[in-house]
């Protein structure tokens, strides 16, 4: 993954401690960050998962196993890259709702192709939010949702194969956005929420100025319900990520990303992106906030 990130420090108010679970209103959903972290650990154990590698095939098999009971679609496509044609696979898991419309929760799952020779496992970058979405399925599974349908999307090819450009990045989401525009699906999407690098122990989710302002405002409202607001939007960024192909087609999007991973982002895209840098609390914060954002979207 590579993206332009123009950081400008912006104070957003005093830090607030998280509210203890027993103090939360009963209407607020509660996410199991510890279980999401364990899914992350199991997923990352597949090894480096750059496209075409044995680890990539293992990662796909892992996802298929997690969703064997669900409505899982494998969206396979071949695309040209600087390293030649590559076969890629997006995965979509659908949980039906009663309202007409869809909320998409997305994360990429592969690791960086240029780093394939350094045993780069991407525990946070790709791994943590894959674990987060797998645990989301446990919350959604086995019920008909009162609000919109929720689709979990695992994109392939988010990372650049050589150098980040508009044509060498976000292959999976570019393919899926074009496909869904052609078949009319895009018109049904009420919100596209992208999760990226959210397992960082020192969680600091930036406000992305390429995202839809009202949707990011709703995310902050959701976080504030739990007392998690100090982990959100202390700085502003312009992020190039899997949401942009949907932004460009008019879909409301929020890119939830912590692109401040280690001192001066020292762990990002290095062999030091390992499980010991992650925490269950960070995944709880992200998961709580996303679930409450869904609930708020259902009420609009």
Helix, strand or coil for residue 236?
strand
| pTM exceeds 0.85, yes or no | yes
HSE toward the beta carbon, residue 85, CA cutoff 13 A: 3
Per-residue pLDDT tens over the stretch 231-274: 999 999 999 999 999 999 999 999 999 999 999 999 999 999 99
pLDDT for the residue 11 = 30
What's the pLDDT at 167? 97
For residue range 20-66, what is the model confidence (pLDDT) as tens digits? 554 555 579 999 999 999 999 999 999 999 999 999 999 999 999 99
**Beta strands in 57-159, from DSSP E residues, in sequence order:** 71-81, 84-95, 97-108, 145-155
In the chain, the domains with their CATH numbers are 8-299 (3.40.630.10)
Predicted local confidence at residue 180, as pLDDT: 98
């Amino acid at each position: 993954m590579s993206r332009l990130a123009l950081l400008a420090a912006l104070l957003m108010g005093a830090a607030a401690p998280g509210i203890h679970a027993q103090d939360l209103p009963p209407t607020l959903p509660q996410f199991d960050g510890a279980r999401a972290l364990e899914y992350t650990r199991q997923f990352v154990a597949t090894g480096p998962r750059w496209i075409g590698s044995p680890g990539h095939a293992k990662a796909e098999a892992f996802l298929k196993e997690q969703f064997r009971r669900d409505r899982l679609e494998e969206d396979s496509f071949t695309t040209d890259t600087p390293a030649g044609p590559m076969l890629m696979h997006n995965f979509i898991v659908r949980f039906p709702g009663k309202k007409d419309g869809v909320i998409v929760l997305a994360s990429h799952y592969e690791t960086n192709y240029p780093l394939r020779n350094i045993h780069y496992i991407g525990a946070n970058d790709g791994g943590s939010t894959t674990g987060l979405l797998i645990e989301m399925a446990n919350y959604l599974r086995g019920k008909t949702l009162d609000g919109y349908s929720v689709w979990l999307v695992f994109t392939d090819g988010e990372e650049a194969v050589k150098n980040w450009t508009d044509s060498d990045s976000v292959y999976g989401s570019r393919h899926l956005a074009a496909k869904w525009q052609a078949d009319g699906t895009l018109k049904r999407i009420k919100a596209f929420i992208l999760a990226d690098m959210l397992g960082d122990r020192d969680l600091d989710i930036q406000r992305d100025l390429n995202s839809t302002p009202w949707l990011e405002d709703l995310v902050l409202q959701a976080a504030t319900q739990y007392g998690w607001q100090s982990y959100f939007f202390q700085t502003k960024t312009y992020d190039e990520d899997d949401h942009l192909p949907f932004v460009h087609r008019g879909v409301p999007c929020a890119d939830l990303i912590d692109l401040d991973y280690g001192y001066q982002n020292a762990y990002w895209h290095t062999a030091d992106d390992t499980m010991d840098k992650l925490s269950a609390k960070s995944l709880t914060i992200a998961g709580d906030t996303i679930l409450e954002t869904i609930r708020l979207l259902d009420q609009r």
